[in-house]
Amino acid sequence: MTKNPVVVYDLRETTPLGLADFINECDRRLTEGERLLSLFGRNGGEGETAVAVTAVFVTESDGLSVLRGVAKKGDAYPALTLKHPSAHIYERELWEQTGVLPGGHPWLKPVRFEGARQQRMDDYPFFAVRGREVHEVGVGPIHAGVIEPGHFRFMCHGETVHHLEIQLGYQHRGVEKLLLQRPPKNLTPTVESICGDSCIAYAWSYLAALEALSGTPAGFETDVLRGIALEMERIAIHVATLNGLATDIAFVQGTGSYGRLRTAVINASQRVSGNRFGRGWLRPWRTKGLTDALRQDVRQTLADFAVDLRRMNDLMCSALSVKARFKGSGVVSTQAARDLGLLGVAARASGVAIDARSELPGRLYERAPMGSVVESSGDCWARMLVRMREIDTSLEWLFRVLDDSTLDLSGGTAAPVGADLRLAPEQLCVSVVEGVRGQVLLALETEADGALRHVKVQDPSLANWFGLALAVRDNGISDFPICNKSFDLSYCGNDL
């Protein structure tokens, strides 16, 4: 049976569990080895105290599954995090968004200072390390480069970092609420603005959910075109990260070469979609097609890119100055990565082989399988290598698909006849796409009339920021920039 990255759950068919039973069932599943993909809450309407809680799991045998429970604002339960640390960030978010209290949670702090906590950034309860020679270094929210805002506070002993605390929320602009204010069929440009370096992953995740809820999935060629767009996005952003890594250690040839190599790929995306980040490429049921000329153009651009990229990667990997900085810096052990529930590149660099493209292949990756890359050393070097090798894997996949003459990709595929964006009522749809940093998860819930009741957005960065905090422990503070860049997480995707 195909394990799909999209699951639709009929809310009318089952009764939600009470909070205690819901948590017990979560505990049972996690104990049995299911992996927690998400845990989130939805507040009832104005004046209501009911909170719907949803957990999403993935298992090797059955793929995605959804568990639904109900609680009241202010209800408390024993935190899952105590036994299953991978739940830590989801329980923090559940508490911040709904007021349901995970009792005994060891790190119950705001995730993004939303709602009534806005502009109370100064109230963040920082962990404090005490001792005569202990000192703190605070950086941000505004940083030295052209990057997004966030606050980092290092608790140090001399040059050594005991702990890093990361305070986010500066980019919070109310995305989840905004997505309920406009008709679903016109939402794609807004979804593309949730995390602007992952437009394709977000748009695809959203559209797959929308199409599933409408009962008319997109055609196979549309899937292939979306897959092409996604791998081009992955390549471009991975190269941007390699560029950043080279820049952060003053490896100037890397800055110059990776910079122009990325330009070639995103300019090809622009020739297809009109935009360097692929905005406007994916729409409900449609995806801009590749005419024969464009297909040849993209094929040739990527072929030229591949030659020069390998040459540059070879130089980067053999340079002693690069090895000296990256090897052994910012180590996250396999155990820690698994315990924390790290996702995507961060997990795969620490030996945890999770990748939605192979775990939940759907019909696309079942027909055109995508290899997954794993490294085991968990350091900055491993996170660099995973990106380099993933670009190779993406290129190999793209060449395979672009050269497959049985695939007609020219269509700019149209909506299927009779397709209608009336969404099925009282459904919950969870959709996962393996974006550049890891799984991008969207959950859409519909009302009795098919209108959207709730949209849950989850960037892989949410789970991975704590991985960065762990990585810098016992490292010199001057290695923070390379640790940070090796994770290359999203602030806006976390802050929403």
Contact positions vs another protein (CB under 8 A): 112-114, 118-119, 121, 141-142, 144-149, 169-174, 177-178, 181-183, 186-190, 192-197, 199, 240, 253, 255-257, 259-260, 263, 267, 270-277, 279-280, 283, 307-308, 311-312, 314-315, 318-320, 490-492, 495
CA distances (Å), origin 361, targets 1, 3, 63, 265, 434:
11, 6, 10, 25, 10
User: Please, which residue, 84 or 226, has the CB nearer to another protein?
Assistant: 226
User: Please, which residue, 269 or 427, has the CB nearer to another protein?
Assistant: 269
Cis ω for the linkage preceding 184 (within 30 of 0): no
How distant is the alpha carbon of residue 117 from its chain centre? 25
- Residues 155 and 153: their CA atoms lie apart, in Å, by 7
DSSP 8-state symbol, 131 = S
User: Please, which residue, 354 or 496, has the CB nearer to another protein?
Assistant: 496
**Shortest distance, position 240 Cβ to another protein, whole Å:** 7
Laid out side by side, the sheet with 63-72 consists of 17-18, 63-72, 50-59, 35-43
**Shortest distance, position 196 Cβ to another protein, whole Å:** 3
**Shortest distance, position 347 Cβ to another protein, whole Å:** 22
**Shortest distance, position 192 Cβ to another protein, whole Å:** 8
- Residues 352 and 339: their CA atoms lie apart, in Å, by 10
**Shortest distance, position 61 Cβ to another protein, whole Å:** 37
User: Please, which residue, 101 or 265, has the CB nearer to another protein?
Assistant: 265
User: Please, which residue, 83 or 182, has the CB nearer to another protein?
Assistant: 182
- Residues 207 and 394: their CA atoms lie apart, in Å, by 22
- Residues 78 and 211: their CA atoms lie apart, in Å, by 37
Characterize the bridge pairing of strands 17-18 and 50-59. Answer: unpaired
- Residues 3 and 366: their CA atoms lie apart, in Å, by 9
User: Please, which residue, 5 or 184, has the CB nearer to another protein?
Assistant: 184
User: Please, which residue, 66 or 225, has the CB nearer to another protein?
Assistant: 225
3-state secondary structure 398-437: HHHHHCCCCCCCCCCCCCCCCCCCCCCCCEEEEEEEECCC
**Shortest distance, position 133 Cβ to another protein, whole Å:** 29
**Shortest distance, position 111 Cβ to another protein, whole Å:** 12
Maximal CA-CA distance, the chain: 73
Question: For residue 311, what are its two tokens?
Answer: 């040459």
Tokens 């009911």: give the residue: 50
**Shortest distance, position 224 Cβ to another protein, whole Å:** 20
Q: Are 437 and 458 in contact (CB under 8 A)?
A: no
CA distances (Å), origin 142, targets 115, 148, 469:
22, 7, 19
Q: Using DSSP, how many helices (H) and how many strands (E) does the chain show? A: 17, 13
User: Please, which residue, 276 or 473, has the CB nearer to another protein?
Assistant: 276
**Shortest distance, position 261 Cβ to another protein, whole Å:** 9
- Residues 275 and 188: their CA atoms lie apart, in Å, by 14
User: Please, which residue, 129 or 315, has the CB nearer to another protein?
Assistant: 315
User: Please, which residue, 171 or 287, has the CB nearer to another protein?
Assistant: 171
User: Please, which residue, 297 or 339, has the CB nearer to another protein?
Assistant: 297
* Alpha helices (runs of H) in 41-142, residue ranges in sequence order: 88-98
Question: For residue 101, what are its two tokens?
Answer: 């209290």
**Shortest distance, position 76 Cβ to another protein, whole Å:** 28
DSSP 8-state symbol, 15 = P
**Shortest distance, position 256 Cβ to another protein, whole Å:** 5
